[in-house]
Every structure is written in C-alpha cells, then in structure tokens.
Structure 1
C-alpha cells in the first residue's frame, strides 16, 4: 500500500515531463526546415564568388579575367601607347646620339621588351577567363605554338560563370567593342607606315653620316 501511494504521488510529475518531451519532439518533427526540401540552408557560404557575380576589369591590372574583345582592345591600346612613348624616346635619342645602332638598341628597350611583358600579362588574364592557368602564357615563347595559343586566346569562349580565378567580367560596353575593332586596324596601318619610314630614315642617317665624314676630310 505504501508503494502504491508513492506511485500515485509520482505519477503527475512523470506525466508532466513525458508530455513536455512528447510536445518538443512533435515540434521538431513538424519544423519547416526539416520537412521542406526546397528551403535554403541557414548557413551562408563565403569566400567563393557566386556563379552570377561580375566585376569591372581594369586595363592597368595583372589580376582578373578578360574576355575576347577586351583582350584585343586592351592589348592593342597599350601597344599603341608603348609605340608612341617609344617613338618619342627613339626620336630624342637619334637626335642626340646620331648613331643608328644606338637608336635601334633604344627602340628595342623602349618598345619590344615592354611589349613582351604586356603580351604575357594580357595572355595570363585571358587564360584565367578560359579557366586555364596563367603559366600557359609561357608558350608564347615557343615558335608555331604561340600562333596556336594566340588564336585560342582570340577565339576561345570564356567561362560563362565564375570560375576558380574569380567572377566573370561585365558585359562589353560600346567603347570596348569599338576599341577592339578599330584600334587593331589603326595599329596595322601604323605598322605599315613604320615599315616604310624606318628603313628610309636609317638610310638617310647613313647618307648624312657619310656626307659629314667627307666634309671632315
């Protein structure tokens, strides 16, 4: 009888806790986060860019992806700037030194070496847009292979979403498109004129030096 009385005194408390545990279990099982398979997780992933992220490429940068049109526009625009700077430096040196050999060396230092570095930098950014490592730009040093690489950089379609090298560049503006078309044509014309003018200038310098030497005799 004593045991029966103790059980009767304990039963209300036991029933209370049992009811509380049962309600908590039902609440957890009926939670929308567990039953809705389309509900986004609460955790926010950071670090990696989302597939639809974009960024505005900077022309004077070694980082970031660039597409085909920007590759042409940036490469030729910077080459044009280098040509103008190298032309001014070469003209000044030719007047001061009056030696065709020195002029050619200065032209090589002022234009060709920076052009090589520029080519590697632009190729690296374009390769990153293709989800390829920038080290492949060293293939520019291999004859014939560099032709294939340049064609790949010009015509290869970049990753349409973010890749391991960052988000995709924003859509090309009208200025970028026009630059990618007109600047290469303009530089080609300058190259043709330079191919005609530089030999003529060197020939003139040689004749001038020969005439000066004859006068000194």
Structure 2
C-alpha cells in the first residue's frame, strides 16, 4: 500500500509492502500517480518501508499479467518529474526494475550503505519505461546506462554513488534526517524561490 504523511508541507510518501520487498501492484501505482499528480507540497520525500529494499519493482504475478508494460509507471515518473517542489528519493535499500523510474524522476537520490541497484529488463524480456533510459543516461552517462539496462549489471551503493546514480550515501540511521535536511530551505525559507531555482535548472 501507499502511505502519505503530510508534515507541515513536507509530504512523505512510503511504499509500504515490506513483506513483498515493496513490490508495486497496479493499485499501488494508481495511488502513487494520484498523489503526485494532485499534491502541491513544499517538498516531497519518497521512501520504502523496511530496512532492506526500497522496491523490487513490479509485483511478479501482476507483471506477468501485464503490469510490466502498464502506462501507470510513466504516469508516476512523469508526475514526479513535473512537481515544482524539491523531490527526494530516500532509498532505504535495494532499488530494482520498474521502481527505477520514480527514483530517476526525483530531483535527488539518497542511498544507504549496503543497497544494490539493478534493472534487469533485458534478461526478463521487457523494455524499460520510455523516459527511464534518458533520465538514467543524463545521470550516469550513455555507456553506464547501457551497462545497467543491457547487461543486467548489479551496482553496489558505492558504485552507484561514484557513477552518479545517487548523490549521497548515508547510514540507514541517517537516511531520513539527510533527506529532510535537503528539504529544509523549501520548508523553512521561501518555497517559491526554491521552486524558481528548480525551474531554472530544468
């Protein structure tokens, strides 16, 4: 399920299905899309429940039934990318498969020590979601994007940091405080100015 907690303008969105590695169902994706398309917070943090996995991507049973190619993935990532406020992916563990799209669409990605990163679409016989390769290549470069998507490479957290996939690597205990710290200017200062800066970077 998707949990949404508004803390005085900071919207914390949690993928809460830890017993299934936070794998995403159609209903969860639909809820996520509605949240990011309809919300207008000062800042947003996207995080997974539990201590090992941010998200394993699509629920396997639903993926086989067609979820792997659903337009909902693109709705979620497009909605996140269009948000005017700062968006932080607080990657509390491993990031895999289709869940890459929502992390790539955020402004900043903070990962934890011990996490791994892989997007095995080539092995599974699927294409990545349409916007994912471009966003990935913009962060890590075309060759590394091809390595991740075409060869099924699995990156460690340290490699993800060195390659530019994540911007900060922290201990699990410091993850939320680090993510929240990145939001402070928008929460405590002039949110409109922060949004203007984001628009200028785009």
Pair in the same fold by TM > 0.5: no
TM-score by length of 2: 0.25
Structure with larger Rg: 1
TM-score by length of 1: 0.24
Q: Larger RCO: Structure 1 or Structure 2 (Cα < 8 Å, ≥ 6 residues apart)? A: 1
Higher helix share: 1
